[in-house]
């Protein structure tokens, strides 16, 4: 923005203008990206996949960790890449990564947790012949 100095209009240095323009572009770009993400990621399954797209997992691993079938993961990743919301981590062998790190904390709850088997639910191991014999000796 032009400034007045000794009643003369002084233009800012080009570098200062470019920094300001870059800030404004980033704000608009992030807002646009978030709007697109929210339109694309509208189901619980897609939210689970999106959260896991951190550049560390393959599509197959995304499917396993999200509890979503691979045939759902692949087209979702491709569509998000088409919109420029995901990129491939080529150095890591094609691992999808979010371009904008936007993932509301509530979306993490949609990731399927592996069920933990309680000790009481574990199948009992068969008793040996000696254990069976000693339990039969009890009155």
Q: Where are the domains of the chain?
A: 3-114
State the pLDDT at residue 94. 78
Task: Give the mean pLDDT per block of 10 residues along the chain (139 residues).
Answer: 68 85 88 91 94 94 94 95 88 84 89 51 48 50
Q: What's the pLDDT score for residue 112? A: 75
| 3-114 CATH fold | Arc Repressor Mutant, subunit A (1.10.10)
Of the candidates 96, 26, 87, 30, the one whose C-alpha atom is nearest the C-alpha of residue 61 is: 96
pLDDT value at position 118? Answer: 39
Determine phi and psi for 74, rounding to 5 degrees. -55, -55
Q: In the prediction, which pLDDT does 127 show?
A: 53
């Amino acid at each position: 923005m032009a400034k007045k100095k000794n009643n003369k209009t002084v233009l800012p240095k080009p570098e200062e203008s470019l920094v300001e323009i870059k800030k404004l572009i980033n704000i608009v770009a992030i807002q646009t990206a978030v709007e697109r993400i929210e339109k694309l990621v509208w189901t619980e399954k897609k939210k689970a996949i999106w959260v896991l797209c951190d550049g560390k997992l393959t599509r197959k691993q995304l499917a396993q960790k999200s509890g979503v079938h691979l045939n759902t993961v692949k087209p979702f990743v491709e569509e998000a890449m088409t919109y420029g919301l995901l990129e491939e981590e080529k150095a890591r062998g094609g691992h999808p990564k979010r371009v904008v790190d936007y993932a509301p904390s509530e979306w993490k709850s949609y990731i399927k947790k592996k069920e933990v088997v309680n000790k009481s639910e574990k199948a009992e191991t068969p008793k040996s012949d000696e254990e069976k014999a000693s339990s039969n000796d009890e009155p």
